[in-house]
Chains A and B, each alone.
Chain A
Amino acid sequence: MIKLLHTADWQIGKLFGQFKPDDGALLAEARFKAVEKLASLATENRVDLVLVAGDVFDAQGVADKTIHRLFNAMAGFQGPWILLPGNHDAALAESVWTRAERLKAIPPNVTVCLQPEPVLLDSVGVALLPAPLTQRHTYTDLTEWFASAETPADMLRIGLAHGSVQGVLPEDIDSPNPIVPGRAEQARLDYLALGDWHGVKQIDSRTWYSGTPETDRFRSNESGRALLVELSEQGALPAVTPLETGQYRWHSETLELRVPSDVEFALQTISAFGPADVVELKLSGQTDLGGYRRLCAAIEQARGKARSVLADLSALRLEPTAEDIDALKADGYLGEVIAELRANQDGADAEIAREALALLAGILDAQHAKAGG
Chain B
Amino acid sequence: MRLSRIRIEQFKKFRQPIEIKDLEPGLNLFTGPNEAGKSTIVSAIRAAFFERHRSTSVDDLRPWGDTSASPTVELEFSIGETRYRLVKSFLGKKRCELQIGTRRLDSTEAEDHLAELLGFRYAGRGASDSMHWGIPGLLWIQQGAGHDIQGPVTHAIDHLRTALNASLGEIASSSGDSVLATVEAARNELLTPSTGKPKGAYDEAIKQEAALANDILELDADIAAYRQKVDTLAALRREHAADEAEKPWIGFRTQERAAAEKLEEIQRIEEALSNEKRRAAELDERIKLLHGQLETFARQEKELETREAELESIRQKLERATALVQEWQSKRAEAEARHEAARETLRLARQADTRLKLMRELEATRLKVKEAADTLEKAEKEQVALVELKRQAALTEIKLKDLEQLRAQDRQIREMQIRLTAAATRLRFALEDGRSIGIGNESVTGTGERLLLETTTLTLPGLGQLEIAPGGSDLTQLRAEAKQLIDTYEALLQRLGLPSLEAAEARYRAYTQHLADIKTAEATLKALAPQGIEPLRTEVAVQRARVQELEQALNLLPPETPQTAKLPSVSEAEAAEEAARLSLEKINESLHEARLTAGKEQTAFETATRELAAARAVVDDPQRPERVAAANRDLVDARAEQSTLAARIEALSRQLAEARPDILKQDVERFRRSAEQLEKRYNERLDQLTRLEIELQTAGAQGLEERRAELARDHAQAKRRLEELRRRAEALDYLLRLLRDKRRALTQRLQAPLQKHLSRYLQLLFPGACLDIDENLSPRSLTRNGSNGTELGDFEDLSFGAREQMGIISRLAYAGLLREAGRPTLIILDDALVHSDEERLAQMKRVLFDAATRHQILLFTCHPAKWRDLGVGARSLEAIRAEA
Contact = CB atoms under 8 A, between A and B. Distances in A.
A complexed with B: yes
Interface of A: 13-18, 20-21, 24, 58-66, 92-96, 98-99, 102, 136, 329-337, 340-341, 349, 351-353, 355-356, 358-360, 363-364, 367
Contact of A17 (B179, B715, B742): B715
B743 to A, nearest CB: 5
Contact of B703 (A17, A64, A329): A64
A218 B182 CA distance: 39
B342 interface: no
A58 B709 contact: yes
A332 B171 contact: yes
- Which of B182, B693, B707, B714 is packed against the most chain A CB atoms within 10 Å? B182
Nearest to A59: B705
26 contacts: A17-B712, A17-B717, A18-B716, A59-B705, A63-B707, A66-B703, A66-B706, A92-B230, A92-B234, A94-B230, A94-B700, A98-B700, A102-B697, A330-B173, A331-B176, A332-B746, A334-B175, A336-B742, A337-B739, A340-B738, A352-B731, A352-B734, A355-B727, A356-B738, A364-B179, A367-B179
A133 B797 CA distance: 82
Contact of B704 (A18, A61, A355): A61
Specify the main secondary structure of chain B where it touches its partner: helix
B296 to A, nearest CB: 92
Nearest to A88: B705
Given A21-B717, A351-B727, A352-B731, A94 B175 contact: no
Given A17-B717, A61-B700, A63-B706, A333 B731 contact: no
Contacts of B703: 61-66
Contacts of B727: 351-352, 355
A367 B182 contact: yes
Given A13-B706, A94-B696, 6 more contacts: A17-B713, A20-B717, A93-B230, A94-B697, A136-B227, A352-B730
Contacts of A58: 705, 709
Interface residues of B, number: 54
B173 A359 contact: no
Contacts of B176: 331-334
B230 A363 contact: no
Interface string B670-694: 0000000000000000000000010
A15 B709 contact: yes
Contact of B714 (A17, A94, A331): A17
A128 to B, nearest CB: 25
A340 B745 CA distance: 14
B208 to A, nearest CB: 13
Contacts of A24: 713, 717
Specify the main secondary structure of chain A where it touches its partner: helix
A334 B174 CA distance: 9
Given A99-B701, A102-B697, A359 B234 contact: no
Nearest to B700: A99
A359 B732 contact: yes
A14 B742 contact: no
B240 to A, nearest CB: 11
A337 B742 contact: yes
Contact of B705 (A61, A98, A332, A360): A61
A337 B701 CA distance: 59
- Which of A96, A334, A355 is packed against the most chain B CB atoms within 10 Å? A334
A336 B173 CA distance: 10
B321 interface: no
A20 B718 CA distance: 10
Nearest to B744: A333
B728 interface: yes
B380 interface: no
B221 interface: no
Interface of B: 171-176, 178-179, 182-183, 186, 223, 226-227, 229-231, 233-234, 237, 693, 696-697, 700-710, 712-717, 720, 727-728, 730-732, 734-735, 738-739, 742-743, 745-746
A365 to B, nearest CB: 11
A359 B731 contact: yes
B780 to A, nearest CB: 20
Nearest to A62: B706
A329 B174 contact: yes
A94 B693 contact: yes
Nearest to B695: A94
A129 to B, nearest CB: 23
Contact of B735 (A59, A332, A359): A359
Nearest to A19: B717
Contacts of A351: 727
Contacts of B743: 333
A59 B745 CA distance: 61
Contact of B732 (A16, A59, A65, A356): A356
Contacts of B738: 337, 340-341, 356
Given A94-B700, A333-B745, A61 B731 contact: no
Given A17-B715, A63-B703, A94-B700, A334 B710 contact: no
A336 B174 CA distance: 13
Contacts of A18: 716, 720
A94 B739 CA distance: 63
Contact of A59 (B233, B706, B717): B706
Nearest to A99: B700
A360 B179 contact: yes
A337 B233 contact: no
A211 to B, nearest CB: 21
Contacts of A363: 179, 182-183
B174 A331 contact: yes
Nearest to B237: A93
A61 B702 contact: yes
A234 B700 CA distance: 43
A363 B728 CA distance: 13
A133 to B, nearest CB: 13
Contacts of B745: 333
Contacts of A358: 731
A283 to B, nearest CB: 15
Contacts of B223: 61
Nearest to B712: A17
Contacts of B179: 334, 360, 363-364, 367
A280 to B, nearest CB: 13
B742 A355 contact: no
B716 A17 contact: yes
Contacts of A333: 172-173, 176, 739, 742-743, 745-746
Given A17-B714, A93-B234, A356-B731, A60 B705 contact: yes
